[in-house]
Amino acid sequence: MTILVTGGAGFIGSHATVELLESGYDVVVIDNLVNSDIEAIKRVKELTGIDFPFYQYDLLSYKQLQKLFKTYKFEAVMHFAGLKAVGESIEIPINYYHNNITGTINLCRVMDEYGVNKLVFSSSATVYGNPSTVPIYETFPLSVTNPYGRTKLIIEEFLKDLSASNPKWRVVLLRYFNPIGAHESGRIGEDPKGIPNNLMPYITQVAIGKRDKLKVFGNDYNTHDGTGVRDFIHVVDLVKGHINALNFLEKTIGIEIFNLGTGQGYSVLDLINTFSSVTSIDIPYEIVERRPGDIAICYASPDKAKKILKWEAEKSLRDMCKDSWNWQINNPNGYRS
């Protein structure tokens, strides 16, 4: 059974490729490497001991996609490829809309043309906007505050319309909470270009001495210690949920939506303290203004995924800190080390 992985050189896609290969699937990966490094593909091959085809293709090139679908008979597609930086999406919305939305439409068009109709899509908890209560259920109202989030919401709506148009389409939308951590080998992990936007890579770069101190964005939220609360989930747990989603696609029709989170909220200070306790490294930080657009508390109800996908996260916050640090210490400059 051959699975096409788009964006398979990226943070989550590379871990998913390992999980797919170890679960016995054949895999073909495409990625235009706009936010990743070919080294990730080499490492996945080395880690699993399995060779697989990789193409530096762009979802915006319909010709490249046709060439690919002519060559392989895919059972399903896991679609990770996309641009994901919120701040950048505000600065260059044309790129974000074009890349994420046109890229997904191209992918679905070529899937349709070649009779491949099973799709697992990487959505995000950002589509819940600022929820009025927590935990967040899949049925909560949707709203977004930035172009990145809007591309996810538009793609979700597009995929709902596509499934409604013809029962041959089988789609799973996975709404990720906050993926952190890395493969326990320390060979693959998150490799942000430039200054990290996200909390965990910032913490590990402070720990290794690449940045002086962490800026904590606000301590006046209505949370147990005033800092923002998030549902951090280990990337390996997250990608395991994708394997369950693939199995689910075998015996379902239409479209289903699942939260992938732990169901547990931890604050920014909880994460800093856990990281320090696991690594014995002090993380200097200062409290600064809230970051515009941030919400106070966001954590999932993972009940639906547990009940229907038979999946739940297993790794602890300490595991996430240990593995993020192991990746950082072994690769001080990411894949360019």
Residue of 25, 96, 128, 148 with catalytic role: 148
Residue 204: what are its φ and ψ, rounded to 5°? -70, -30
Known catalytic residue at 148: yes
Tokens of 146: 């930035």
Footprint of ligand NAD on this chain (CB under 6 A)?
7, 9-13, 30-36, 58-60, 80-84, 99, 103, 122, 124, 176, 179
One character per residue 171-200, x = contact with ligand UDP (rule: CB under 6 A): -------x------------------xxx-
Query: Nearest to ligand NAD by Cβ — which residue?
Result: 10
Residue 173: what are its φ and ψ, rounded to 5°? -100, 120
Query: From the list 4, 5, 216, 300, which residue makes contact with ligand UDP (rule: CB under 6 A)?
Result: 216
Q: Which residue, 137 or 217, has its beta carbon nearer to ligand UDP?
A: 217
Q: Which stretch binds ligand UDP (CB under 6 A): 35-43, 68-76, 208-216, 234-242?
A: 208-216
Per-residue exposure over 232-260, b if at least 16 CB sit within 10 Å of its own CB, e if not: bbbbbbbbbbbbbbbebbeeeeebbbbbb
Distance of CA 186 to the CA centre of its chain: 18
The one-letter amino acid code at 302 reads P
Q: Which residue, 232 or 275, has its beta carbon nearer to ligand NAD?
A: 232
Which of ligand NAD, ligand UDP, none lies near 35, with the C-beta cut-off 5 to 8 A by kind?
Answer: ligand NAD
Report how far apart the first and last C-alpha atoms of the chain are (Å, whole number).
Answer: 35
Residue 129 interacts with ligand UDP (CB under 6 A)?
no
Tokens of 297: 């508390």
Q: Which 265-284 positions form the footprint of ligand UDP (CB under 6 A)?
A: 268
Which of ligand UDP, ligand NAD, none lies near 84, with the C-beta cut-off 5 to 8 A by kind?
Answer: ligand NAD
Q: For residue 13, what are the β-bridge partners?
A: none
Neighbouring residues of 86: CB distance < 8 A, sequence distance ≥ 6: 126, 146, 148, 149, 197, 293
Q: How far is the CB of 214 from ligand UDP (least distance, A)?
A: 6
Handedness of CA 239, 183, 306, 134 (dihedral sign): negative
Query: From the list 98, 210, 217, 319, which residue makes contact with ligand UDP (rule: CB under 6 A)?
Result: 217
Tokens of 305: 């995924």
Name the DSSP letter for residue 290: P
Which of ligand UDP, ligand NAD, none lies near 268, with the C-beta cut-off 5 to 8 A by kind?
Answer: ligand UDP
Residue 98 interacts with ligand UDP (CB under 6 A)?
no
Do 40 and 17 meet the contact criterion of CB atoms below 8 Å apart?
Answer: no
Query: Nearest to ligand UDP by Cβ — which residue?
Result: 228
Residues catalogued as catalytic: 148
Which residues in this chain contact ligand UDP in the complex, by CB under 6 A? 178, 197-199, 202, 214-217, 228, 230, 268, 291, 294
